Structure 1
Amino acid sequence: MPTLRSGLIPAALFADKLRRVLFGQLRDYVKKDKEFANRIAYYSALLNRALFTLLVDELKVDKLDVVRITIDYDVDEEHKEVKWKWDTLKVEVFKRVPPESYGETLKTFIAKEPEIAIGVV
């Protein structure tokens, strides 16, 4: 059973990345059958629409947050279908921390850095 993995990407780019990875994994099907290529694009769109709903509407993920998405699937060559294994869906979200939340701590650290560096040696 093949697995679709996005790798670490900004949330704003997940749809394009997943589509490109899926087409890359199924390139042999795409080369020999243009209709199958259209069906692959359709099933990619279904996945991306569902993930958009999850990430944006449900989890309120910002477009600059980083995500990693993994899902298994099967290819039905006879019916030209990609069947997503929804029970294997794994979504990891890494939230961006705005500079305002740690700016003061950073300034304090920079002021004390010379004595910290000397103390280590």
Structure 2
Amino acid sequence: MATWKLEENIQRDMEKAQEHVELYGGHVLKAPNRYELRTGIVIAARFADKLRRTAFAVFGGILPKEEIVRATSELNRKIYEKLVSMGVGKLDIIRITVETAVEGNRLTFSEPKIEWFLPYAEVQKRLEECEKKMTDIRQKIESLLEELP
């Protein structure tokens, strides 16, 4: 029969809580008036809704709703441009983390961290393409070295 150990159960619960935050989003209080917002894993097309809802959940009782809408719309525009430049598709899976500060009645965001989850087959395909390019470059370098006196 397994014995119940408080320390092990607390550690397991802390690990599960961290896993839940990473998967499903939410926020972490980093310091007074400094937060980290997380979307959790979402389809790229839905990131803006998730960020806005998370911001309302965290700051709804602290800041006017107009400020939350203003700040999140600016952040969403920045993230959208970054996603487009990265080549992320609408149905791709991403996770966004951004540090946030409340200064007076203003909400400010730092540079967002975007994690892009690719299927294994896509990673394998890109790896094979890179290996082929490296082989081609190596052959060109070797042929150039042979031409040197």
Q: Do Structure 1 and Structure 2 share a fold, with TM-score over 0.5?
A: yes
**Residue 39 of structure 2 corresponds to residue 6 of structure 1:** yes
**Residue 38 of structure 2 corresponds to residue 15 of structure 1:** no
Counterpart amino acid of residue 73 in structure 1: T
Unaligned runs of 5+ in 2: 1-33, 125-149
**Residue 87 of structure 2 corresponds to residue 60 of structure 1:** yes
- The higher-RCO structure (CA 8 Å, 6+ apart) is 1
Q: How does 1:1-121 map to 2 (within 5 A)?
A: 1-30=34-63, 36-56=64-84, 58-77=85-104, 80-86=105-111, 89-96=112-119
Q: Which protein is bigger by CA-based radius of gyration?
A: 2
> What is the aligned length?
91
* TM-score for both structures, normalised by structure 1: 0.68
Contact 1:29–1:37 (Cα < 8 Å) also in 2: no
Return structure 1 stretches of 4+ with deviation > 2 angstroms. 95-98
CA RMSD of aligned residues (A): 2.2
CA drift at 1:95: 2.6
Percent of matched pairs sharing the same residue: 34
Partners of 1:69 and 1:26 in 2: CA distance:
18
* TM-score for both structures, normalised by structure 2: 0.56
Unaligned runs of 5+ in 1: 31-35, 102-121
